[in-house]
Amino acid sequence: MTTVAELASRLAAGKNSSVELVTDCLARIDDPASEGARTFTAIFADEALADAERMDRLRQGGGAPSPFAGIPVSVKCLFDIEGKVTTAGSKVLADAAPATDDAEAIARLRKAGLVVVGHTNMTEFAYSGLGMNPHCGTPGNPADRSRIPGGSSSGAAVSVADGMSALGIGTDTGGSCRIPAAFCGVTGYKPTARRIPTGGTFPLSPTFDSIGSLARSVTCCALADALLAGQTPRLPQPLDVASLKLAVLDNYVLENLTPRVAAAFDAALATLSSAGAQLTRITLKDIERLPELNARGGILGGEAFAIHRDMLNAHEQDYDPRVAVRLRKAEAMEPGEIAALRAIRAEMTARADAITRPFDAVIMPTVAMEAPVFADLDADDGIYGRQNLLALRNTAVGNFLDRCAISLPLPVDGLPVGLMLMGETMGDEKLFDVAMTVERVLAM
């Protein structure tokens, strides 16, 4: 699948029709040899083809709502789609009433003419970074089908990597766009949380929930982010590499890296340095407190349990046991505990801002490891728990500090490895410029 900008150019030139693009995606989804049945929880073939035909007619008449009208997009199954059931990857919601409206973010995409091909699979209720779902099955990693795709936006990543959509819309509360992007070899973006409205999206943690995108390039994610934010799309502007100031975070996020991830990260730093980028090592001592702050559930766990308490008490037998255990972890949190944690977070964020403000971005590995194999995780809850915490460790730093962040695929052979750039709060457009610059340098 080519990039969103390339598809828009081809549609404008008449080299492709939207019907052709959507038909190709649907064929890939429907191929019995593909991961389509595990990548999507629902396929909207008839509606997608009808929308594609409508966009083609509008374009022929000069009335396309945007240059991106007719481009196929997949949507994580916790976003409301009018007339469809929002299951959030769970049996618990399988018989819920269909949504009466599109989620606010998805309505913005539809207004621009993008075509929704289906709801993508996910970890149940978005509560894991590994992407496994015992109810719907789990799509295999495009690089090695015996390995997990990462999560929670598992289907979004695989839909893009396997050409089942040009763009995947997901959510990121602790890394759920960036982790599967890193594991599947695509680009994944987490905006500043308040940048994009979450109305009509099944929540996990209102403090941290962010609506992001997974795609083939930085530019694809930038275009998607602008549409989701209700802004006029803007192409990222590459910066002078010699003026690029990158802070290399050298504590916490570099612990327990696999040798291959460590080597790929070091090689990326060397390439950037050779190209003229200014790299400075920094320490954010506060982030070493994150395991302690999350030991009883943390802000995220406390908010998630409050959302699920009644449903969990009534239908726990229908939950993924591994998700139910994580939700129950916060049950013992006391009144006022979340408020106290929010105050600590504000103090830690202010201190981090003061340290990172002089830099264009903070750079680190997206995930400390390559995608684990299904068999190991299926066999042992302890391994699953440890691998989940390690998968989430680096990405969750960006969520806790209220930052925007992007994962870029590194140019490595074999299993994909991701490089994460973390920008400032509401510095999303600048981060896209930085990320495009880094993307170009690493591709040389």
Select from 228, 259, 274 the last residue of a domain: 228
Contact between 22 and 49 (Cβ < 8 Å): yes
**Distance separating alpha carbons of residues 437 and 419, to the nearest angstrom:** 13
How many structural domains are present in the chain? Answer: 2
Same domain as 252, residue 209: no
Average pLDDT value over all residues in the chain: 98
Same domain as 262, residue 208: no
Residue of 152, 159, 165, 407 marked active site: 152
Same domain as 145, residue 272: no
Q: What pLDDT sits at residue 243?
A: 97
Residue 6 scores a pLDDT above 80? yes
Contact between 198 and 205 (Cβ < 8 Å): no
Report the DSSP pairing between strands 187-190 and 211-215.
antiparallel
Same domain as 404, residue 259: yes
Query: Is 377 a domain residue?
Result: yes
Q: What pLDDT sits at residue 131?
A: 99
**Distance separating alpha carbons of residues 291 and 439, to the nearest angstrom:** 32
Same domain as 179, residue 278: no
Residue 1 scores a pLDDT above 70? no
Burial class (CB in 10 A: 0-12, 13-18, 19+), 209: buried
Residue of 176, 205, 213, 407 marked active site: 176
Same domain as 379, residue 261: yes
Same domain as 32, residue 156: yes
**Distance separating alpha carbons of residues 22 and 132, to the nearest angstrom:** 27
Residue range 313-331, pLDDT digits in tens: 999 999 999 999 999 999 9
Same domain as 245, residue 215: no
Same domain as 248, residue 210: no
Query: Is 250 a domain residue?
Result: yes
Q: What pLDDT sits at residue 444?
A: 83
**Distance separating alpha carbons of residues 114 and 261, to the nearest angstrom:** 36
Query: Is 68 a domain residue?
Result: yes
Query: Is 439 a domain residue?
Result: yes
Contact between 143 and 168 (Cβ < 8 Å): no
Prior bond of 9 cis (ω within 30°)? no
Residue 129's pLDDT band, with cuts at 50, 70 and 90, is very high
State the DSSP string of 242-269. Answer: GG-EEEEE-SSTTTT--HHHHHHHHHHH
By residue count, the chain amounts to 444
CA atoms 276, 278, 281, 285: torsion sign: negative
76 Cβ neighbours under 8 A, 6+ residues apart: 119, 120, 122, 153, 155, 156, 168, 169, 170, 171
State the DSSP string of 11-57. Answer: HHHTSS-HHHHHHHHHHHHH-TTSSHHHHEEEE-HHHHHHHHHHHHH
Rounded to the nearest 10 degrees, how much is the dihedral formed by the CA atoms of 130, 131, 132, 138? -140
173 Cβ neighbours under 8 A, 6+ residues apart: 126, 152, 204, 205, 208, 209, 210, 300, 399
**Distance separating alpha carbons of residues 195 and 180, to the nearest angstrom:** 22
Once rounded to an integer, what is the mean pLDDT over residues 52-81?
99
Same domain as 258, residue 126: no
Query: Is 119 a domain residue?
Result: yes
Select from 188, 203, 228 the last residue of a domain: 228
Contact between 126 and 173 (Cβ < 8 Å): yes
Q: What pLDDT sits at residue 2?
A: 86
Query: Is 107 a domain residue?
Result: yes
Q: Among residues of the chain, what percentage have pLDDT more than 70? A: 100
76 is catalytic: yes
Same domain as 268, residue 206: no
**Distance separating alpha carbons of residues 121 and 357, to the nearest angstrom:** 37
**Distance separating alpha carbons of residues 92 and 417, to the nearest angstrom:** 34
Query: Is 293 a domain residue?
Result: no
Query: Is 425 a domain residue?
Result: yes
**Distance separating alpha carbons of residues 216 and 360, to the nearest angstrom:** 23
Query: How is residue 135 written in tokens?
Result: 């109810």
Q: Among residues of the chain, what percentage have pLDDT more than 90? A: 99
Same domain as 172, residue 262: no
Q: What domain range includes position 433? A: 241-286+355-443
Residue 233: which of 247, 243, 223, 219 has the closest Cα? 223
243 is catalytic: no
**Distance separating alpha carbons of residues 25 and 28, to the nearest angstrom:** 5
Residue 28 scores a pLDDT above 90? yes
Residue range 356-404, pLDDT digits in tens: 999 999 999 999 999 999 999 999 999 999 999 999 999 999 999 999 9
Buried b or exposed e, range 360-391, using 16+ CB within 10 angstroms: bbbbbbbbbbbbbebeebeeeeeebbebbebb
15 is catalytic: no
Indicate which CATH number applies to the domain containing 172: 3.90.1300.10
pTM of the prediction? 0.98
Residue of 76, 84, 190, 329 marked active site: 76
